[in-house]
Structure 1
Amino acid sequence: MKLLGTRWTAWLVLPMLLTLSGGAWAAEFDGAQLSAIWGVPFAGLLLSIALMPLLLPHFWHHHYGKVAAAWGLAFLVPFALVFGPAAAGANTVHALFAEYIPFIILLTALFTVSGGIYIRGNLHGSPGLNTAILAIGAVLASFMGTTGASMLLIRPLIRANDNRKHVAHVVVFFIFIVSNAGGSLTPLGDPPLFLGFLKGVDFFWTLKAIFPETLFLVGSLLAIFFVLDSWYHRREDLMPRDPTPDSKGIGFDGAINFWLLAAVVGLVLMSGLWKSSVSFNIYGTEVGLAGVVRDLGLVAVTFLSLKITPAKVHADNQFGWGPMAEVAKLFAGIFLTIIPVIAMLKAGVNGPFGAVVQAVTKPDGSPDVMMYFWITGALSSFLDNAPTYLVFFNTAGGDPKVLMTTLAPTLAAISAGAVFMGANSYIGNAPNLMVKAIAEDRGVKMPSFFGYMLWSGAVLIPLFVIMSFIWFQ
């Protein structure tokens, strides 16, 4: 299995080894020491993802990994020169072992196992069927993760609509509902909620706290989608022949992967419940035994799925590593260049982004619930929503018992903002980019980075405004 080619991974590993040659690692640096200019590589990478597919599509398609590497080095090399190779090495190792490796292993496992399940039969993409698939995906997302639900359902959804000319809107709403909003009810659904679970938030707290908000958002999106899809369906000429042949009934090939999917969920849940005092110190980064067992288990599940899944299932699913490779390469750059941005946010009112942190506090010192919702959400639209959740979790006091009781509206606003607004851009949540890549690989002409944001701005933002005045005042 060749997921990560040596040529593009070398840019991450080599600088790391070079910086570590400086000797002992350094403690976490203070983000208050930084100026906002350290955020330029991160902003540059985001702009590259947004603009280069439009302006230089051929170059981007063949060299996006090199672009991500260049922006990563644009941060890492100056950082090593200013703060020393030990500090650069320590922070690179932390991003690698505490964040990127667990993140990419989980995504790879979900991508592989879900890609080994083929939903047999020719579904016909009527507005009613499409809406039903989105509703099923919304329910599944909170129990098998937004990535797992997205990878399981996006291929049959595209196949069901392969005789239609207008399909992009179907995929856009799939990202809104299945890849984001649906994962808001349990820690298994989305990484920010899993972080909260690790911090002490009860497993079912989010289900009780933001179920009405989730029901409103998902229900509204399903209703809007049904009306919009019905409009498209009535006005388009269907292709004269359905590319997918009819077959008898609906069924599953590779159904054994459902057991492996349950194993993935079990391993993730285990890593949150198992409290072990054993940990490994890797150049200043503590890696707990539970996390190591989880990741090794997920790697084993990935290889087992590849071994036991019949080749025909992968062929029928048009399974390939292209979407996974794109996510792995781009998020490697994102996890590296985001280091100073998260540090500056963690510095609170004393950091370069002090005004952002201060904006969530009222003059009397109490939390401004609406601002927590919007600022957490706005940052989660472009930053990784998991560390963004953690920043504002700590800004609100960081005590899970207080946040689940006295400050429950504040924690609900943080949770909803981090999960819901990950749908605002392609990079707000990892499944967004994976779904986009799979859709384009299947010939769907997806909106550009900014084109997608026009969709989210027109559909999601008005719903978020309504929610603000109902639940987050």
Structure 2
Amino acid sequence: MRLAKAACAILLPALLALLLSAGPAAAAAAASGSDLSLAWGIPFVGLLGSIALMPLLAGHVWHDHYGKIAAGWGLLLVVPFAVVFGPGRAADEVWHIVLQEFIPFIALLLALYVTGGGVLLKGSLVGTPLTNVALLALGTVIASVMGTTGASMLLIRPVLRANAFRQRKTHTFVFFIFLVSNIGGSLTPLGDPPLYLGFLKGVSFFWTTTHLFSEFLFCAVLLLAVYYVLDSIAWAKEKAHAPAPGAREPLGLEGTVNLWLIGVVVLMVLLQGAWQPGEVTIFGQQIGIERLVGIAVFLAVTFASVRLTAPALREANGFAWGAIIEVAKLFAAIFVTMAPVLAILRAGTDGAAAPLVALTTGPTGEPIPWVFFWMSGALSSFLDNAPTYLVFFNLAGGDPGLLMTEGALTLAAISCGAVFMGANSYIGNAPNFMVKAIVEENGERMPSFFGYCAWALVFLIPLFILVTLIFFI
């Protein structure tokens, strides 16, 4: 029953969007972006403002009605769009967002959330600085194998339990997002959606492993070192509160069937890049068969995980549905409202953002890697980093063969910007918001939207300036 209710809550935004967008199959062509003004980005800015400000100014209203508020901003875009451009084009846009982007996105996220929440690391992990660094380092390494979402869902609860007795621990969760939920996913297409889209476009599977390794290692080692110093200072002030050694239980792992299920998810993601048997038309949209199979597999994995994992284990793991429901509702609205912003960017020099796009090339038309790094990163901080990556991939020429060779520095800059700077805000990458929701669900405090951005400003922006000077100039 709980699974059914959760599934309804997760899929309801998509189903409502489908019903609202019902129209002829031969809907008008998707917006090119060249005929859109920057004013169409107002609902997206309004939604971001609501996410950032309402928990601070009207917390009770936000927590009780965030889904309705997010849906309201979505309607504030869709209804005027239908009036100006016609219901056919509006319907086509919403169908495209829901079928091509949101449902595949939330199905994958749901599978990783449920399977990760079914693995229980038992025993007494005491959140000393060395233990915490080891957990963050482990998550950073495995994120490129099982994805930033999978690694985050697998390790955030052990980190929460290990630090339950700690009084000063907010920094641990923030650095967890920096490292495990973002930077750790930079070495393979499995790690983060932007790199997976690059793989689908023709970038070799191990290209990122070889060309982003130095940047990854530099960021990971520096952030882990800074974290160790911060946590050591905090630990020195509260060491006396640590559990006595005699009270500690040996470590053990339960729910290991979920590790196999996570493996199925990873293999299915990889298969979608290698197996493309054709397309089918659904509600006027051409959808790859491999994508439909992927959605079916992800839902089957979710169901299998629920059936094969004892409820008592999930309860011991602090598993609840609230976090994934919150992510589903908010990201449904984010996907809809950010669509015109991305369309304007895709229009390049023909769109309203032409002056911004012009900054990416020099006087003779050559790409400027450090500008690509900061522009793809800055937009990935607040827009979904996967389509943002594609925008700049295409602005750089869109030829994977050329970008992997002569344009390698530019492609590395785009890849690092999209992956690394997704850590700059809670909405830069989906695992960020999920980690925040899970931590708060377990009764711990997390920084506000602006508070988190302040952490990023202090610790990440100086790091990215160093990355620019060392690797992209």
Superposed pair shares fold, TM > 0.5:
yes
Asked if structure 2 preserves the Cα contact closer than 8 Å seen for 1:93 and 1:282, the reply is no
Which residues of structure 1 form unaligned runs of 5+?
none
Aligned length: 471
Contact 2:120/2:254 (8 A) holds in 1: yes
Q: Label 1:210 to 1:10 Cα distance change in 2 as closer, same or farther (>3 A).
A: closer
SS at match of 1:286: strand
The sequence identity of aligned pairs, in percent, is: 53
Q: Could you tell me which residue of structure 2 aligns to residue 70 of structure 1?
A: 72
Query: Could you tell me how far apart the structure 1 residues matched to 2:357 and 2:407 are?
Result: 17
1:393-437 deviations in Å (ceiling 9; x for gaps): 000010100010010000000000000000000000000000001
Aligned to 1:351: 351
Cα distance in 2 between the residues matched to 1:358 and 1:398: 17
Query: Match of 1:29, as an amino acid?
Result: A
> What secondary structure does 1:252 align onto?
strand
1:25/1:87 contact within 8 Å kept: yes
Matching residue of 1:313: 313
| Separation in 1, partners of 2:297, 2:246 | 38
Shift of 1:236: 3.1
Matches within 5 A, 1:420-439: 420-439=420-439
Equivalent residue, structure 1, for 2:187: 185
What is the rounded CA distance, in whole Å, between the counterparts of 2:196 and 2:242 in structure 1?
47
Q: 2 CA distance for matches of 1:301 and 1:9?
A: 16
**Structure 1 residues 164-221: Cα deviation after superposition (integer angstroms, max 9, x where no partner):** 1111100000000000000000000000000000000000000111100000000000
Moved more, 318-327 or 12-21: 12-21
| 1:265 aligned partner, one-letter code | V
Q: Distance in 2 between matches of 1:149 and 1:8?
A: 21
Does the CA-based 8 Å contact 2:21-2:95 persist in structure 1? Answer: no
Partner of residue 153, structure 1: 155
Matches for 1:79-98 after TM superposition, within 5 Å: 79-98=81-100
Distance in 2, Cα, partners of 1:221 & 1:128: 14
Does 1:249 find its partner at 2:244? no
Q: Distance in 2 between matches of 1:137 and 1:8?
A: 27
Query: Which residue identity is paired with 1:460?
Result: L
RMSD: 1.7
Cα distance in 2, alignment partners of residues 60 and 297 from structure 1: 34
Per the alignment, do residues 245 and 426 of structure 1 end up closer, same or farther by CA in structure 2, a change over 3 Å counting?
farther
How far has the Cα of 1:256 moved from its partner?
1.2
Q: Is the 8 A contact 1:121 1:246 kept in 2?
A: no
- 1:440 alignment partner in structure 2: 440
2: distance between equivalents of 1:55 and 1:395?
Answer: 40
Distance 1:154 1:8 in 2: 21
Assess, with a 3 A threshold, how the Cα gap between structure 1 residues 15 and 463 changes in structure 2: closer, same or farther: closer
**Deviation digits for residues 48-77 of structure 1 (CA, Å, limit 9, x no counterpart):** 000011111111111110111000000000
Which letter maps to 1:165?
Answer: Q
State the match for 1:270 in structure 2: 271
State the secondary structure of the residue aligned to 1:20.
coil
Structure 2 distance, partners of 1:36, 1:128, is 48
Q: 5+ residue gaps in structure 2?
A: none
Counterpart residue number, 1:325: 325
Give the superposition deviation at 1:16.
Answer: 3.7
User: Does the alignment pair 1:223 with 2:235?
Assistant: no
Normalising by structure 1, report the TM-score: 0.97
Paired with 2:138 and 2:432, the residues of 1 have a C-alpha distance of 18
| Letter of the 1:386 counterpart | A
CA distance in 2, matches of 1:349, 1:97: 29
Partner of residue 175, structure 1: 177
| Structure 2: distance between partners of 1:234 and 1:430 | 34
- 1:95-124 Cα deviation digits (max 9, x unpaired): 011100000000000000010000000100
1:113 maps to a residue whose letter is: T
- Corresponding residue for residue 115 of structure 2: 113
Sort the Cα spacing of 1:259 and 1:395 in 2 relative to 1 into closer, same or farther, 3 A.
same
SS for the counterpart of 1:33 is: coil
- Taking the TM superposition and a 5 Å limit, the aligned residue runs for 1:264-413 are 264-276=265-277, 278-413=278-413
CA distance in structure 1 between the partners assigned to 2:150 and 2:88 by the alignment: 38
Which one of the candidate residues 76, 91, 103 is aligned to 2:105? 103
Deviations 1:246-281 (A, max 9, x none): 4531111111111111111111111111121x2111
- Match of 1:337, SS state, is helix
Cα offset, 1:19, TM superposition: 3.6
Q: Kindly provide the amino acid, as one letter, of the partner of residue 216 in structure 1.
A: F
